[in-house]
Amino acid sequence: MKAAIALVSILMLSSQTSAEEARQVRQGQPVAVTSDLAYLLFREDPRQGPGDFEYVLARELQKTILPLDHVAAPPQFDAQASLIRTDARYPYVNDAGQKSYLLAVPPGVYSIVAVTYKRMPAIGTCLCMGTVRFEARAGMLNDLGYLLGAIEDKPSRLPELASYTGSLDWTHTTPALALMTVRPSTDEMGAPSSLRTLPRTRAKYAAAGKFPNYFRTMINRVPPIAGVLAYEGDRAINPQVPER
Amino acid sequence: MRRLVGACLILTAVLASSATAETSAASLPDDIRTYRPAPGDAENFWRYFFFWKRGVTQEMARKDLLECAAYSHGPVLWARVPERMPIGEDVKGPNGTEGGYGLVGAAIFSLVEGGLVQRIALANMRRCMGFKEYGRYGLSSALWRSLNAGTPDKTIDQLAIVAAGADPSQPKGLAP
């Protein structure tokens, strides 16, 4: 019986997801490992408040983030890949406010290209002056750690974003300049129990250089992240790679 | 409505002045450098300002201004998530390298009245130049108009001269 349920689950999965489509997995939906699919798990820090931040991911042409250069390469977007916007309405797990989200995506390298909030029907703020990329490995649960959002003219309780928020008045942030960062996965971050059978890998982040404001929206960049992302002026840097 | 009419009048005036009274680039740095804010000026520093960076060359400043103008070009208030990227042949790339900037100057440097779209454009310009470590300094509306009058090409030249010119007398730069 269990085998039959598993088979049905896999069939359902393959009927919903082709190699070129991505989807957000909702609570209770089946999850199964396939070679043409990568799962992305990320968490929300409840301290960010009722933010309902959402993130836009874009797949790149390259298949791996390596090798890294000191000056981060700009993303080379795959024009065949659909952009992915996360949906804050559908966490995969909501355990007393501790929310985790799950995406099933084609394997590859992804950049986080925009952040928006409160389910606005708009792309929000472009992270086009510096962001992070990561590798989504096939057949794996790729643990992205936490994705963290804030609005710049409102103080954030998130330690990573507190110093970037609250000090600018509305004339500097109008209409609503959002920013985001990542808290990379650690061994201490547990995965939802229903995903523990999946082979899991901690996603490695790297810096991604600036790209054009394709969305014609507000611009920003991901603030520096220790060991992942730094800036020299307006150039995004991989701080772990020495300058040659 | 009054704001809209005002914007149109001012825009017309700016366009007219660009045809008849182009400011001499050589005289600009001193005017700008010695500017002292009058009471009330600071309320409008979010839109009337110039950039300055120690040690930058005019050539570099021009390149930086062009790149940031490209990031600020033609904002859309409720920009939808596109299906795919890259999109749009008319999108200007980093470093201002993809073609000329056409109406960028008109779109960015002739913004004289509010509106959310204009605010986005100005916010992007301030932010981009801030990331490039330029200081931002307030101006009176009259000085700002003289600095930004002229064709986009002329305006960029003038802004670059100021950005690479003598130290501003204002003691401290403004937030991006």
pLDDT tens digits in sequence order for chain A, 244 residues long: 444 444 333 333 333 334 458 999 999 999 988 899 999 999 999 999 766 899 999 999 999 999 999 999 999 999 889 899 999 999 999 988 899 999 999 999 999 999 998 767 778 899 999 999 999 999 999 999 999 999 888 889 999 999 998 776 666 656 668 899 999 999 999 889 999 899 999 999 999 999 999 888 899 999 999 999 999 999 999 999 999 8
Look up residue A237 and give its two tokens. Answer: 């840097």
C-alpha span between A87 and A76 (Å, rounded): 25
The nearest CA of chain B is from the CA of A77 a distance in Å of: 6
C-alpha span between B151 and B13 (Å, rounded): 14
Angstrom CA distances, A78 to A6, A154, B96, stand at: 33, 35, 22
pLDDT for position A123: 80
Do the Cβ atoms of A91 and A36 come closer than 8 Å?
no
The answer to whether position A1 is within a domain reads no
The answer to whether position A243 is within a domain reads no
C-alpha span between A53 and A50 (Å, rounded): 9
Helix axes B58-72, B116-131, angle to 10 degrees: 140
Q: Which of A216, A218, A235 to mutate to test the interface with B (most CBs of B within 10 A)?
A: A216
The closest CB to that of B175, out of A83, A172, A218, belongs to A172
Picking from B55, B58, B71, B47, the residue whose alpha carbon sits closest to that of residue B128 is: B71
Torsion angle (degrees, nearest 10) of CA B61, B175, B118, A161: 110
* DSSP class of B155: H
C-alpha span between A102 and A86 (Å, rounded): 9
For A175: left if phi > 0, alpha if psi spans -120 to 50, otherwise beta; the answer is alpha
Q: Which residues constitute the domain of residue A24?
A: 7-237
Q: Chain B residues with CB-CB distance to A under 8 A?
A: 46, 70-88, 91-94, 98, 116, 119-120, 123-124, 126-128, 131-133, 175-176
- Which residues have CB under 8 Å from A209's CB, separation 6+? A71, A72, A73, A74, A75, A130, A235, A236, B94
The answer to whether position A160 is within a domain reads yes
Check B71 against A234: CB less than 8 A apart: no
Q: Residue A168: its chain B contacts at CB < 8 A?
A: 175-176
Do the Cβ atoms of A172 and A202 come closer than 8 Å?
no
The answer to whether position A32 is within a domain reads yes
pLDDT for position B101: 37
Asked if residue A224 has a cis previous peptide bond (ω within 30° of 0), the answer is no
What residue type is assigned to position A196 of the chain? R
Find the closest chain A residue to B125 by CA distance: A219
- Which residues have CB under 8 Å from A240's CB, separation 6+? A68, A227, A228
The closest CB to that of B93, out of A81, A114, A212, belongs to A212
The answer to whether position A2 is within a domain reads no
Q: Which parts of chain B register pLDDT below 70?
A: 1-29, 87-114
Check B84 against A82: CB less than 8 A apart: yes
Provide the whole-model pTM.
0.84
- Count of domains for chain A: 1
C-alpha span between B67 and B76 (Å, rounded): 18
The answer to whether position A229 is within a domain reads yes
The three-state secondary structure class of A44 is coil
pLDDT for position B28: 59
The closest CB to that of A83, out of B74, B76, B82, belongs to B82
Check B76 against A217: CB less than 8 A apart: yes
Picking from B117, B101, B118, the residue whose alpha carbon sits closest to that of residue B154 is: B101
pLDDT for position A215: 87
The answer to whether position A155 is within a domain reads yes
The answer to whether position A151 is within a domain reads yes
The three-state secondary structure class of A147 is strand
Each residue's pLDDT tens digit, B11-24: 333 333 333 333 44
